[in-house]
Amino acid sequence: MSRTPRGESTAVLAVDTGGTFTDLLLYRDGVLQALKVPSSPSDPSRAILEGVARLLGAGSGSVEPDDRAERSHESGPTALPWSAPEVPYVLLHGSTVATNALLERKGARVVLVTNRGFEDVLEIGRQNRPQLYALVGHRAPPLVRREDRLGIHGRLGPDGAEVASLSPEELAELVERVREADSLAVCLLHSYADPAHEEVVADVLASLDLPLSVSSRLLPEYREYERTSTTVVNAYVAPVMSRYLARLAAESGAERVAVMGSGGGMLAVGRAIREPVHTVLSGPAGGVVGALHWARRVGVEGIVTFDMGGTSTDVSLCPGQLLHTREFEIDGQPVAVPVIDIHTVGAGGGSLATVDAGGALKVGPESAGADPGPIAYGLGGSQVTVTDAHVWLGRIPAEGFLGGSGSLYREPIEEPLRGLAARLSRTPEAAAEGVLAVADTAMERALRVISVERGFDPRDFALVAFGGAGALHAAELAGRLGVAEALIPPDPGLLSAFGILTAAPTREASRTLLVEAGADGALGAVEEALDQLSGQALNALVEEDHVDPEDANVDRWVDARYRGQSFELRVPAREWVEAFHRSHEARYGYARRDAAVEAVTVRATARAPGLAVDEPPLPEAEAPVATAPGTTVHQGEWVECPRIWRRDLRPGHEVEGAALVLDYSATTWLPPGWRLTVHPSGVLRLRAV
């Protein structure tokens, strides 16, 4: 195992909590060990502790692997007869706790302190219409009730100058006014220019010992609505994340716990507790990082990532690097911290197939989840899912589930599938293929959103498919998009955990400037601000992650726009004006080189090396690959479909479709007219013949 700034521990465990399975990847003594356990939605830590027990040999009384149905109905803190493993290890975690708290509206009661007259910023929002063609649209209610939004006297101008001072009398009464809160948010006008007023309010509220989210500490950037919303989201999920991470750190027995951030880097657990808003895309971000790693191993730079799990599909475009965005919403709540540009649709292996009032087949967004799961799991599911369609068609052999260690059941699918087929006036096989086609259409639409609609030609990219179900749909989607090839990384069902394992610790600092490039001293002001932010980000990384500053590097960015525009593009700070013109032309098809360019916000991202996981190349094939007979349905016909275990594939092997490649974490479907080859790294390359 390579020594890295993460310390000298001989074991590192990466965990990605998904809607259906919790994926664990252990790296110890240069060897990777994988495990999938059913997720426990009511208490995600239960599945994690089960995985720790099975991988690291926790003491007697650890969770038995077959208690899935019983545990899925329990709630509250873990109550396992648990003893922590004696093996020292580091726990790296991709968490869905903050995401679920937002989606399920199960966060804290937040009191927001803002300027008098601006209590309704959260409710007014922007002019955007969530349902463009609805006669009567609706928006999700704000996370803070009207009576919990407190306006106080005092105001700063956009340059940070004091327009009206804070009222000492109001500040003296503020503690009593917020006592009913579980969490506090402070967002005052123009605190990005000067945080003085917010810091005074924060000092007053600190005596309450409640989670406190202060906008100038969290997001010192302009746009009042987005900054307020981001601060409130952070406050809303802070108590639940604090309890969860503190309990997990204590019960797991790990020497250190870190959390995957939405921007693609690891966060020290202390920062994740203070700023949990950075974890709302925690798991999906790990998948994009892992996909880019394996694509580079193959020598491919431009990729489109396709992560199909149990409840949803996440897609992202990486033209040789991670792309970030600040135009992100979750359940209608803007979150303006930088996140990897990921688009999500409600189509996964557990997505339910239904027939709508017009007689059309619909797949998702409702999901069977982990409990009861698809019918084929045998845990009480009664509605046909995408996974059930694959099992019925023979594309997930019942005996090949989880590398042969798990069981699937085909017989219980028949009756619900025949009922669905009858409503569609189709055969069960045609209905099952229809379910897959509808799911493919939804996922193709998502892939076009992050490629074609953003000025990129999919034919210039490779599709990297992963997640438990991604490799089953990779070839069809690659064909629809016209991409050069589809890549299936090793252990595709655990790729998000692999990305978490190898992600770099990061820290970002930002500040709004609002200066025009042609103004006197503007370029110097940008450089000075970038120098200050670079030092701030690097110092935070050294202090929180114990990184050697010699091992870290800092990337510098400018969010720029043409004067008069409403939104910005993020470009590298080096020659940022020209870089902005090029980026604008690539994104929108034109550039205005005679127009004034403004630097709106400047950023610095400090990054240290992640864990180096270097697996040796596979040996060349010495004999034809072993196959087992099988059949599947393709375009309404039963066809021969040999089955191959992925562990038997070597560089030099070529497989012609139709064929199935079975693996522990996922099954790869190779349709007729497609060819599979094996890269020395172990990546499977799928291309149309």
Sign, CA dihedral 363-663-471-465, equals: positive
User: Looking at residue 83, what is its pLDDT?
Assistant: 64
Looking at the predicted structure, is the pLDDT value of residue 455 above 90?
no
Q: Report the CATH superfamily, name and number, of domain 11-102+241-279.
A: ATPase, nucleotide binding domain (3.30.420.40)
In which region does residue 513 sit, left (phi positive, over 0), alpha (psi from -120 to 50) or beta (all else)? Answer: alpha
Long-range pairs of 638-644 with CB within 8 A, sequence gap ≥ 24:
639/672, 641/394, 643/397, 643/400
User: Looking at residue 74, what is its pLDDT?
Assistant: 31
Neighbours of 424 (CB within 10 A): 16
User: Looking at residue 332, what is its pLDDT?
Assistant: 83
Q: At what angle do helices 282-298 and 495-502 cross, to 10 degrees?
A: 90
Residue with tokens 């970030």: 324
pLDDT band at 414, cuts 50/70/90? very high
Per-residue CA distances from 402 to 38, 94, 665 (Å): 12, 21, 6
Mean pLDDT of 657-672: 93
- Tokens describing residue 182: 């579980």
- The model's pLDDT over 532-586, given as tens digits with 9 standing for 90+, comes to 999 999 999 998 888 888 889 999 999 999 999 988 999 999 999 999 999 999 8
User: Looking at residue 48, what is its pLDDT?
Assistant: 92
Separation of CA 502 from chain center: 15
- The model's pLDDT over 343-385, given as tens digits with 9 standing for 90+, comes to 888 888 889 999 998 899 999 888 887 678 899 988 888 999 9
- In percent, the amount of the chain with pLDDT more than 90 equals 67
Residue with tokens 């959260």: 122
Mean pLDDT of 601-622: 90
User: Looking at residue 70, what is its pLDDT?
Assistant: 30
Residues near 150 by Cβ (< 8 Å), separated by ≥ 6? 111, 112, 113, 114, 119, 174, 177, 178
Mean pLDDT of 445-453: 91
68/500: higher pLDDT: 500
User: Looking at residue 104, what is its pLDDT?
Assistant: 82
- The model's pLDDT over 196-230, given as tens digits with 9 standing for 90+, comes to 999 999 999 999 989 999 999 999 999 999 999 99
- In whole angstroms, what is the distance from residue 611 CA to residue 5 CA? 8
- The model's pLDDT over 504-524, given as tens digits with 9 standing for 90+, comes to 999 999 999 999 998 999 999
Name the average pLDDT for the chain. 89
Return the minimum-mean-pLDDT range out of 155-164, 368-377, 465-474: 368-377
- In whole angstroms, what is the distance from residue 338 CA to residue 537 CA? 15
Is residue 660 within 8 A of residue 643, CB to CB? The reply is yes
User: Looking at residue 84, what is its pLDDT?
Assistant: 67
User: Looking at residue 82, what is its pLDDT?
Assistant: 57
End-to-end CA separation in angstroms for the chain: 40
User: Looking at residue 373, what is its pLDDT?
Assistant: 86
Looking at the predicted structure, is the pLDDT value of residue 63 above 80?
no
Q: What are phi and psi of 562, to 5 degrees?
A: -75, 145
Q: What is the residue extent of each domain of the chain?
A: 11-102+241-279, 104-233, 506-607, 631-688
pLDDT band at 657, cuts 50/70/90? confident
Looking at the predicted structure, is the pLDDT value of residue 598 above 80?
yes
Residues near 261 by Cβ (< 8 Å), separated by ≥ 6? 267, 272, 278, 279, 282, 285, 506
- In whole angstroms, what is the distance from residue 471 CA to residue 477 CA? 10
Per-residue CA distances from 259 to 104, 190, 323 (Å): 21, 31, 20
- In whole angstroms, what is the distance from residue 240 CA to residue 354 CA? 34
Give the per-residue SS3 of 617-643: CCCCCCCCCCCECCEEEECCEEEECCE
Exposed, middle or buried: residue 99 (CB in 10 Å: 0-12, 13-18, 19+)?
Answer: buried
- Tokens describing residue 15: 């965990």
Q: Which of 54-58, 95-99, 593-597 has the highest mean pLDDT?
A: 593-597
Mean pLDDT of 59-86: 41
- The model's pLDDT over 249-302, given as tens digits with 9 standing for 90+, comes to 888 889 999 999 999 999 989 999 999 999 998 888 999 999 999 999 999 999
pTM: 0.87
Looking at the predicted structure, is the pLDDT value of residue 38 above 90?
no
